[in-house]
Amino acid sequence: MHTDGSIDEKSGAKKKAEIVTYYNQHKIGVDMVDKMCLAYNVQRGTRRWPMVIFSTILNVAGINSQVICLANGKNMPRRRVFLRQLGNELIRDQLIRRSQLTNMPRIITSRLRELLPHDQTPQASSTSADTHAGKRKRCQLCWDNENKTTRLTKYKCYECGQYLCLQHCDYFCVGGCKVNRDRNENDSE
């Protein structure tokens, strides 16, 4: 397109080449991408050049995905919100896969339950150790006893969710759930 060394007449006394003035007129896209990348940058300080390239690719991919969504006529949230939604969508399949592992630490499993939608949360197993809750609460069966002693516990019944101390744990609470389970087992025999 610019094979000759012609001078742009509009540059006046500076006598710039036509290719330079053409570039300056059309470089707004590059400047805008740089500005958007700096506003919400995923790059961290590193000396490893592959990480610099990867983070640059992520920055440009975030901008490109927003441009594509705008071109498709979708109602766009603010850029910060859009990038958060994009990141959550990108990691959702990995979170679901990790949530189905059985040997995950409890703290990671509880964090996965917070991040995933309720229909995709990991299924709890039937042991009392796996129905571990974060905070300790009163055993609901001890509180109902005549002596009104209370024990703090972190375990819950698998079926009804009542907090139970280890005296009342038998994979199911000694109250209603175990009686119903035993009754259902006897009926099926």
Helix, strand, coil share (%) of the chain residues, nearest 5:
55, 10, 35
pLDDT at 2: 66
Instruction: Say if 106 falls within a structural domain.
Output: no
| Number of domains making up the chain | 2
Cβ–Cβ < 8 Å for 167, 149: no
**What is the C-alpha separation between 135 and 115, in angstroms, rounded?**
19
Q: Which of 131, 91, 87, 132 is nearest to 112 (CA)?
A: 91
How many H helices and E strands in the chain? 7, 3
90 and 23 both lie in a single domain: yes
Instruction: Say if 43 falls within a structural domain.
Output: yes
Amino acid letter for position 63: I
**What is the C-alpha separation between 44 and 35, in angstroms, rounded?**
17
pLDDT at 161: 76
Instruction: Say if 162 falls within a structural domain.
Output: yes
54 and 15 both lie in a single domain: yes
pLDDT at 1: 65
The DSSP bridge partners found for residue 156 are 163
Residue 100 structure tokens: 């189905």
pLDDT at 49: 92
pLDDT at 175: 61
Which residues span the domain enclosing 173?
125-188
Terminal-residue alpha carbon distance, the chain: 88
DSSP 4: S
14 and 92 both lie in a single domain: yes
165 and 88 both lie in a single domain: no
pLDDT at 33: 85
pLDDT at 128: 38
pLDDT at 53: 92
**What is the C-alpha separation between 11 and 100, in angstroms, rounded?**
65
Prediction pTM value: 0.46
**What is the C-alpha separation between 158 and 183, in angstroms, rounded?**
17
Residue with tokens 């290719």: 19
pLDDT in tens, the chain (189 residues): 667 777 777 777 777 887 788 888 778 777 788 888 888 888 888 889 999 999 999 899 988 888 898 888 888 788 888 888 888 888 888 888 887 777 778 788 778 877 777 665 555 443 434 444 457 788 877 765 566 667 788 877 766 777 878 777 765 565 666 666 666 666 665
Instruction: Say if 22 falls within a structural domain.
Output: yes
Helix axes 28-39, 49-71, angle to 10 degrees: 110
Cβ–Cβ < 8 Å for 8, 16: yes
